[in-house]
């Protein structure tokens, strides 16, 4: 007869062996340049989940920037070590991984995020820990209000709302309906700033309908909007929802222009929306049509590495890494407080999304571009500033 | 006028919920547990349609769009039927003698497996669902109109619901299924092949979910691996609303839920759509614990 081993003990044994193995793997140091310690910089992004395309675009551009910096001898003679964590596009994940980046990886600065909600999570922790953070595409005003350690490379929602109001006014549109996603700070903020600016210009918001994360069927809201007889619909949402809403709108016979914000700026928008999104407009941060050599070099390098054209979010993310490297160089130190000081003093930094100077709220001052969807492509229409 | 338009929208959405709800209620009828993986079978059906549509276009394209649409629909239903049988065989059958709670938890596991397996297999990004049929607005007069996709959803669901009703009432399999839902042991003693009937029940329910997946995808124009969660939950609510275990109840619950959602969705409180829908569920369950058409039976637990 074999000795009987209770099942419970077996499980505990297996579990403890796995834990030990896992901790061994975790402790294993990756080989580095001997002698020169690298500068650890953390990136948190949505590499999987609903907004995966945003996160991947950012990651690619930041990897490109890192490579370029390291190939030119790094900063202060030290290479950058980029540590990347994925928040799966989920609310609540970012705070966990940002904590991990700060306490376990000892990063001196943070990059991220594209979404405002998730940037707010990271910003609160970065501010508390005294680690400077540069958000790339997070356009909600509250992000940099988290404190003096938080910066961004994009313009803010209030600005986008005002730009779109100005743009629609210039087209002679007087009656606009709004459809917003009430589960994101981004969409709510934009809808509000747009409504205020458009009313101030003498326009009329004839109806507003909302939806929340996960909704797929928008026929009910769109039918209600159609009843209010608008001349255009303002749709400040991400590319995951906008093309669905537009297609369903076309299906119920809403053949008026839809107007969006930088959240539309993804190739996925065109893939999902195909013919339905033709003749729609949005305001963005960046266009590859810009003939500035800085921009053209970036577009070329990006294309060589990834065989794809960079999106606005790639451009913003690229700027955030280059801006950070520039600040570390000027600070002549990797001390987080000194990096913060140097970031604040940034003057006319030549980024691919325009020249960056921070205002007192650590937001960059720069214009927006209006993009029109024509023949299945994003085409540059005009540059607008307030 | 807008109210009538919203009711038309709701009827078509509701008919899709009804199709999915039937799967929940059929499985509950024979096995007395909620198959939480049912919503994800819908997702698999939609993806089957997505990948098969171009192939079917090559084969049947020369006879027009209708044969293509029907081929896609039937092949997605067939794939889902096989998937349902496999899920039952590998995940639920070994647990047949265990407590119902064990099977329930397993079904949540299967659901997660399909969702995240789908993310690996199909990718995480949202994909555009092809227009299987040309979309047009069909005018109904009085300023009302309905999209052809909505009509298709309504028509296909209606035919499938009728078909299911005939299957359950007038065939040997239907009789065996009803016998099983009344008393499994007695049915077995009377010579009913329990395993075969359960497999067929899963096949039928999953095929309906597959059809629901195609119709849902046609209406929302996009698919992704997590798309089954929300309609799955809604259909479950519809099944409970109508009285779980009752087939006409599931159909009624689905249509009711679709209409309520459309009406709330188009009103000033559109963001509370789900809250109101679930609030109604709670209210009905307080007033009629067995659901609208359910028979209240003494609880055996």
**B104-137 residue pLDDT tens:** 999 999 999 999 999 889 887 788 888 887 777 7
> Are residues A148 and A294 both part of a single domain?
yes
Q: Looking at the predicted structure, is the pLDDT value of residue A5 above 60?
A: no
- What is the spatial distance between Cα B139 and Cα B137, in angstroms, rounded to a whole number? 6
Whether B64 has a pLDDT exceeding 60, the answer reads: yes
Q: How far is A63 from A199, CA to CA, in rounded Å?
A: 43
Whether residue A267 is found in the same domain as residue A203: yes
Q: Which of A284, A314, A349 is the last residue of a domain?
A: A284
Domain of A106?
A: 39-155+290-366
Residues A149 and A129 in one domain: yes
**CA gap A164, A281 in Å, rounded:** 9
Q: Are residues A181 and A121 in the same domain?
A: no
Query: Is the pLDDT confidence value at A30 over 60?
Result: no
Write the residue in B6, B135, B230 that is nearest to A223 by C-beta.
B6
Same domain? For A137 and A162 the reply is: no
| 3-state SS class at B249 | helix
Task: Report the percentage of chain A scoring pLDDT > 90.
Answer: 57
Whether residues A129 and A147 share a domain: the answer is yes
> Which of A182, A214, A216 shows the shortest C-beta gap to B271?
A182
Shortest CA gap A276–chain B (Å): 11
Asked whether residue A125 falls in the same domain as residue A107, the answer is: yes
CA distance B252 to A205: 38
Decide if A103 contacts A80 (C-beta within 8 A).
no
A270 and A295 belong to one structural domain: no
What is residue A2's predicted lDDT score, i.e. its pLDDT? 47
Q: Which of B271, B272, B277 to mutate to test the interface with A (most CBs of A within 10 A)?
A: B271
Residue A353 near residue A286 (C-beta atoms within 8 A): yes
Contacts of A135 (CB under 8 A, 6+ apart): A112, A113, A119, A122, A123, A143, A144, A150, A151, A152, A153, A154, A320
Q: Cα–Cα–Cα angle for A44, A46, A48, nearest 5°? A: 130
Residues of B in contact with A214 (CB under 8 A): 229-230
Q: Is residue A384 part of a domain?
A: no
Q: Write the pLDDT tens digit of every residue in A144-158.
A: 999 999 999 998 888
Task: Locate all alpha helices (DSSP H) within chain A, ordered by sequence.
Answer: 7-27, 52-71, 93-103, 116-129, 142-145, 157-170, 185-200, 219-227, 242-251, 267-273, 293-306, 312-331, 336-344
Q: What is the pTM assigned to this prediction?
A: 0.76
> Per the domain annotation, does B295 fall within a domain?
no
| Contact residues on chain A for B271, CB-CB shorter than 8 A | 182, 210-212
Residue A216 lies in a domain: yes
CATH code at A253?
A: 3.40.50.2300
pLDDT exceeds 50 at position A1: no
In Å, how far is A281's CA from the nearest CA of chain B?
Answer: 20
A322 within some domain: yes
Residue A270 maps to a domain: yes
At residue A19, does pLDDT exceed 80? no
Is the domain of A278 the same as that of A263? Answer: yes
Query: pLDDT at position B81, please?
Result: 96
**Is A191 a member of any domain?**
yes
A162 and A280 share one domain: yes
- Residue by residue, DSSP assigns B190-211 as TT--HHHHHHHHHHHHHHHHHH
Residues A61 and A109 in one domain: yes
Least confident of A9-13, A168-172, B103-107: A9-13
> How many CA atoms does the CB half-sphere of A312 hold within 13 Å?
27
Phi then psi dihedrals of residue B214, to 5 deg: -65, -45
Segments forming the whole domain that contains residue B271: 2-134+144-287
Q: Could you tell me the CA-to-CA distances from A130 to A44, A63, A164 in Å, in that order? A: 17, 25, 36
DSSP B90: I
Give the distance from CA A215 to its chain's centroid: 22
Give tens-digit pLDDT for A274-329: 888 999 999 988 888 888 889 999 999 999 999 998 988 899 999 999 999 999 99
Distance CA(B152)–CA(B218), nearest Å, equals 9
**Residue A28: what pLDDT?**
46
pLDDT digits (tens, 9 = 90+) for B22-48: 989 988 888 888 899 999 999 999 999
- We report the CATH number of the domain holding residue B181 as 1.10.3470
Distance from CA of B119 to the nearest CA of A (A): 9
Q: How many Cα atoms within 13 Å fall on the side-chain side of residue A99?
A: 6
pLDDT at A32: 46
Instruction: Give Cα separations from A241 to B17, B129, B292 (angstroms).
Output: 21, 14, 35
Does B194 contact chain A (CB < 8 Å)? no
Given pLDDT bands bounded at 50, 70 and 90, which one contains residue A25? Answer: low
Q: What's the confidence (pLDDT) of residue A213?
A: 79
Name the pLDDT band for A185 (thresholds 50, 70, 90): confident
pLDDT tens profile A49-103: 878 888 999 999 999 999 999 999 999 999 999 999 999 888 889 999 999 999 9
Query: Binning pLDDT at 50, 70 and 90, where does residue A8 land?
Result: low
**Which of B134, B151, B107, B118 shows the shortest CA–CA distance to B48?**
B118
Cβ proximity of A121 and A98 under 8 Å: yes
d(Cα A136, Cα A318) in Å, to the nearest integer? 9
pLDDT at A22 over 70: no
Query: pLDDT per residue over A107-146, tens digit each?
Result: 999 998 988 889 999 999 999 999 999 999 888 888 999 9
pLDDT tier, A14 (very low <50, low <70, confident <90, very high otherwise): low
Least confident of A182-191, A330-339, B268-277, B280-289: B268-277
Distance CA A274, CA A258 (A): 14
pLDDT the model gives residue B290: 83
Number of folded domains that form chain A: 2
Q: What percentage of chain B exceeds 70 in pLDDT?
A: 98
pLDDT digits (tens, 9 = 90+) for B72-115: 999 999 999 999 999 999 999 999 888 888 999 999 999 999 99
Q: Which residues contact A254 (CB under 8 A, 6 or more apart)?
A: A222, A225, A226, A233
The residues, any chain, with a CB within 8 Å of residue A104's CB and separated by 6 or more, are none
Strand partners, A384: A368
B277 preceded by cis ω (within 30°)?
A: no
Query: pLDDT-derived band of residue A13, with 50, 70 and 90 as boundaries?
Result: low
Task: Let me know if residue A301 belongs to a domain.
Answer: yes
- Digit-coded pLDDT (tens) for B165-206: 899 899 999 999 889 888 888 998 988 898 999 999 999 999
Confidence grade of residue A43 (pLDDT, cut at 50, 70, 90) = very high
Q: Which residues of A touch B264 (CB under 8 A)?
A: 220
A234 forms beta bridges with A178, A259
A-chain residues within 8 Å CB-CB of B212? Answer: none
Please, which pLDDT band fits residue A332 given cuts at 50, 70 and 90?
very high
The predicted complex's ipTM stands at 0.77
Distance CA B285, CA B291 (A): 6
Q: Are residues A260 and A305 in the same domain?
A: no
CA separation for the pair B231, A11 (Å, rounded): 38
Predicted confidence (pLDDT) at residue A31 exceeds the cutoff of 80: no
Within a domain: residue A234?
yes
Q: Are B207 and B80 in contact (CB under 8 A)?
A: yes
B300 pLDDT more than 80: no
Q: Is residue A7 in some structural domain? A: no
Instruction: Please report the DSSP string for A235-264 in residue order.
Output: ----TTTHHHHHHHHHHTT--S-EEE-GGG
Strand partners, A284: A369
Task: Read off the pLDDT band of B267 (50, 70, 90).
Answer: confident
Q: State how far residue B68 is from chain A, nearest Cα, in angstroms.
A: 21
Domain count, chain B: 1
């Amino acid at each position: 007869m074999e000795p009987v081993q209770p099942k419970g003990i077996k499980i505990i044994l297996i579990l403890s062996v796995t834990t030990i193995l896992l901790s061994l793997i975790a402790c294993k140091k990756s080989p580095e340049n001997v002698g020169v310690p690298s500068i650890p910089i953390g990136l948190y992004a949505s590499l999987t989940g609903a907004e995966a395309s945003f996160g991947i675009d950012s990651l690619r551009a930041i990897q490109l920037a890192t490579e370029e910096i390291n190939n030119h001898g790094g900063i202060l003679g030290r290479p950058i070590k980029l540590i990347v964590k994925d928040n799966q596009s989920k609310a609540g994940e970012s705070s966990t991984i940002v904590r991990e980046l700060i306490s376990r990886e000892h990063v001196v600065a943070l990059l991220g995020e594209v979404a405002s909600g998730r940037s707010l999570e990271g910003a609160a922790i970065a501010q508390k820990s005294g680690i400077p953070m540069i958000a790339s595409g997070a356009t909600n005003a509250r992000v940099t209000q988290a404190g003096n350690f938080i910066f961004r490379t994009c313009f803010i929602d209030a600005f986008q709302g005002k730009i779109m109001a100005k743009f629609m006014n210039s087209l002679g549109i007087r009656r606009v309906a709004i459809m917003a996603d009430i589960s994101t700070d981004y969409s709510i903020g934009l809808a509000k700033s747009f409504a205020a600016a458009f009313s101030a210009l003498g326009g009329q918001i004839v109806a507003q309908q909302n939806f929340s994360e996960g909704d797929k069927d928008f026929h009910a809201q769109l039918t209600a909007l159609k009843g209010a007889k608008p001349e255009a619909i303002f749709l400040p949402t991400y590319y995951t929802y906008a093309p669905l809403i537009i297609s369903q709108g076309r299906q119920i016979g809403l053949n008026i222009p839809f107007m969006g914000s930088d959240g539309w700026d993804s190739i996925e928008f065109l893939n999902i929306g195909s013919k339905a999104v033709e003749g729609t407009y949005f305001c963005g941060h960046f266009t590859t049509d810009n003939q500035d050599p800085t921009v053209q070099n970036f577009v070329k390098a990006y294309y060589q590495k990834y065989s794809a054209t960079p999106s606005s979010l790639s451009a913003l993310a690229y700027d955030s890494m280059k801006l950070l490297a520039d600040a570390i160089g000027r600070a002549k130190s990797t001390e987080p407080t000194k990096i913060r000081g140097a970031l604040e003093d940034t003057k006319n930094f030549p980024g691919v999304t325009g020249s960056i100077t921070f205002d007192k709220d650590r937001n960059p001052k720069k214009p927006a571009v209006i993009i029109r969807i024509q023949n299945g492509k994003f085409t540059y229409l005009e540059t607008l500033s307030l | 006028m807008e109210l009538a338009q919203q009711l038309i929208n709701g009827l078509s959405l509701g008919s899709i919920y009804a199709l999915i709800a039937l799967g929940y209620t059929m499985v509950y009828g024979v096995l007395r547990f909620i198959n939480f993986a049912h919503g994800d079978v819908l997702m698999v059906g939609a993806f089957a349609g997505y990948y098969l549509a171009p192939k079917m276009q090559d084969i049947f394209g020369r006879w027009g769009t209708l044969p293509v649409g029907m081929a896609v629909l039937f092949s997605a239903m067939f794939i889902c039927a096989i998937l349902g049988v496999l899920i039952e065989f590998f995940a639920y059958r070994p647990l047949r003698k265990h407590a119902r709670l064990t099977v329930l938890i397993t079904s949540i596991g299967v659901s997660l497996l399909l969702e995240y397996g789908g993310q690996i297999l199909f990718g995480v990004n949202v994909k555009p669902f092809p227009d299987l049929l040309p979309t047009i607005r069909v005018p109904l007069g009085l300023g009302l109109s309905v999209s052809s996709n909505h009509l298709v959803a309504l028509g296909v669901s209606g035919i499938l619901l009728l078909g299911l009703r005939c299957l359950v009432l007038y065939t040997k399999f239907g009789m065996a299924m009803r016998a099983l839902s009344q008393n499994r042991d007695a049915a077995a003693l009377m010579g009913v092949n329990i395993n075969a009937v359960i497999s067929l029940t899963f096949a039928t329910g999953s095929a309906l979910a597959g059809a629901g997946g195609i119709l849902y995808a046609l209406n929302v124009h996009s698919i992704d691996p997590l798309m089954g969660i929300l309609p799955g939950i809604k259909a479950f609510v519809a099944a409970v609303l109508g009285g779980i275990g009752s087939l006409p109840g599931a159909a009624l619950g689905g249509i009711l839920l679709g209409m309520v959602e459309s009406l709330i969705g188009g009103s000033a409180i559109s963001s509370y759509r789900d809250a109101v829908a679930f609030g109604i569920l709670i209210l009905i369950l307080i007033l009629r614990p067995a659901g609208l058409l359910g028979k209240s039976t003494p609880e055996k637990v």
